[in-house]
Amino acid sequence: MDGDDPIYLDNNATTPVDPRVLDAMLPYFSEVFGNPSSVEHIHGNRAQAAVAKARAQVASALGARENEIIFTGSCSEANNIAILGAARARPERRHLITSAIEHPAVLEPMRQLEREGFALTILDVDEYGRVAIDDLRAALRDDTGLVSVMGANNEVGTLQALAEIGACCETVGALFHSDLAQVPAHRAINVVDEHIHMASLSGHKAYGPKGVGALYVRSRSPRARLVPIMYGGGQERGLRSGTINVPLVVGMGEAMEIAKRNSQNDERRLRALCDELILEVTRTISGVSVNGHPIERIAGNVSLSIAGVEPLALMHRLNPVASFSASSACATDKVETSHVLLAMFGDTPRARQAFRISPGRFTTPEQLTNFACALAEAVTDLRRYAA
């Protein structure tokens, strides 16, 4: 990036492509350009081999089998395939469960199923953004077919107790799906140990390219059966028809392999950076609340609410200094109080004043120090004008 560019602190919205990922992708735009479905000739075979390698890389990052990985165009598409496909595959299981803080790519297909006659339970969360296991147990029914709870919240960073949730689901024969978009860059995942039956992944949340995702679908014990929600040539086990985008799939595979190898070191470094940022901000600015779970959280997320300061005004003031987010940046160009913060705190100043700082793999300590100083100055000025 140019030295005059703002500091990038919005990695929970999207990450830059790691240079190692880009290097892996480049040959597949021009040199190895075959269609991986054209297995009758060498150009197609080369492309198919690249896809097979990427599939193995994603599977290894999850502790899954290669035949359990479906490549998609995004994590949102993976969520839709999993939720709509699993529910419609077992129409006798008419009850669904999710949480109030899910991404719209989970909540909206759940609401579509509700319109189709399924019963939907939306679990509340506590002030840290966590689902209570007792609430889940109380909500489960004999006809519960699917539960979807995200691995880590994109707005406040809170991690859910996935293994406990998955184990609870298995007691009634319900499938457990989790949107893991935010997780691979920060911690290791093992879908078997954590009782996850389906999981959605995003390339661009883990230093890979945009426009590619993946869906893990358990093949046994229990097997997750899905019906397709789109139709065509039958690629990806008939669940995601369409020619595979080989360069992006290669990039996702490489990104997941790097994440598996480096997530522990990245997590340790980011946690230290974010702890220091929180310490500095709370030392220099009064009325600061830190949102999300204090311990069970991904490291690269600092959600703050500052009394008397509107996040949109703060963003405009600091635009030349840093790029960060006042709420989830996936859905629209409007900044509204997010459903996540409303679920955690209700319609309160703390919810309305929340904003998110998310450093990443390439953020330096100096950049966060500079941001903390600029933030303190901006808050002082905004409060003076409001007085």
Residue 336: predicted pLDDT: 77
In this structure, are strands 302-306 and 354-357 parallel, antiparallel, or unpaired? antiparallel
- Among residues 168, 169, 274, 330, the one annotated as catalytic is 330
| Assigned CATH class of 7-15+263-386 | alpha beta
Query: Which residues face 305 on adjacent strands?
Result: 289, 354
Residue 386: how many other CB atoms lie within 10 Å: 10
| Inter-residue contact 152 to 184 (CB < 8 Å) | no
User: Residue range 261-268: average pLDDT?
Assistant: 93
pLDDT in tens, 121-148: 999 999 999 999 999 999 999 999 999 9
Choosing among 3.40.640.10, 3.30.1370.10, 3.20.20.100, 3.40.50.1220, the CATH entry for 19-258 is 3.40.640.10
User: Residue range 286-305: average pLDDT?
Assistant: 96
Of the pLDDT bands very low, low, confident and very high (cuts 50, 70, 90), residue 311 is: very high
169 is catalytic: no
Tell me: pLDDT of 333 over 60.
no
In a 13 Å sphere around the CA of 256, the CA atoms on its Cβ side amount to: 29
Closest CA to 358 of 16, 13, 11: 11
Of the pLDDT bands very low, low, confident and very high (cuts 50, 70, 90), residue 154 is: very high
CA distances from 279 to 168, 273, 305 (A): 38, 10, 14
pLDDT in tens, 169-187: 999 999 999 999 999 999 9
In this structure, are strands 288-291 and 95-99 parallel, antiparallel, or unpaired? unpaired
Residues 6+ apart with CB under 8 A from 283: none
Closest CA to 29 of 248, 231, 232, 228: 248
Phi and psi torsions of 159, nearest 5°: -90, 140
Of the pLDDT bands very low, low, confident and very high (cuts 50, 70, 90), residue 2 is: low
Residues 6+ apart with CB under 8 A from 238: 228
- Residue 151 and residue 161: Cα distance in Å, rounded? 8
Residue 337: predicted pLDDT: 87
- Residue 197 and residue 182: Cα distance in Å, rounded? 18
- Residue 131 and residue 124: Cα distance in Å, rounded? 7
Of the pLDDT bands very low, low, confident and very high (cuts 50, 70, 90), residue 386 is: confident
User: Residue range 43-72: average pLDDT?
Assistant: 97
Query: Which residues face 202 on adjacent strands?
Result: 213
Residue 329: predicted pLDDT: 45
Residues 6+ apart with CB under 8 A from 98: 106, 107, 110, 120, 121, 122, 123, 147, 148, 149
User: Residue range 146-172: average pLDDT?
Assistant: 98
Of the pLDDT bands very low, low, confident and very high (cuts 50, 70, 90), residue 4 is: confident
Residue 328: predicted pLDDT: 45
SS (H, E, C) the chain: CCCCCCEECECCCCCCCCHHHHHHHCHHHHCCCCCCCCCCCHHHHHHHHHHHHHHHHHHHHHCCCHHHEEEECCHHHHHHHHHHHHHHHCCCCCEEEEECCCCHHHHHHHHHHHHCCCEEEEECCCCCCCCCHHHHHHHCCCCEEEEECCCECCCCCEECCHHHHHHHHHCCCCEEEEECCCCCCCCCCCCCCCCCCEEEEECCCCCCCCCCEEEEECECCCECCCCCCCCCCCCCCCCCCCCCCHHHHHHHHHHHHHHHHHHHHHHHHHHHHHHHHHHHHHHHCCCEEEECCCCCECCCCEEEEECCCCHHHHHHHHCCCEECECCCCCCCCCCCCCHHHHHHHCCCHHHHCEEEEECCCCCCHHHHHHHHHHHHHHHHHHHHHHC
Residue 50: predicted pLDDT: 97
pLDDT in tens, 226-257: 999 999 999 989 899 999 999 999 999 999 99
Domain residue ranges of the chain, discontinuous segments joined by +: 7-15+263-386, 19-258
- Residue 135 and residue 178: Cα distance in Å, rounded? 17
Tell me: pLDDT of 332 over 80.
no
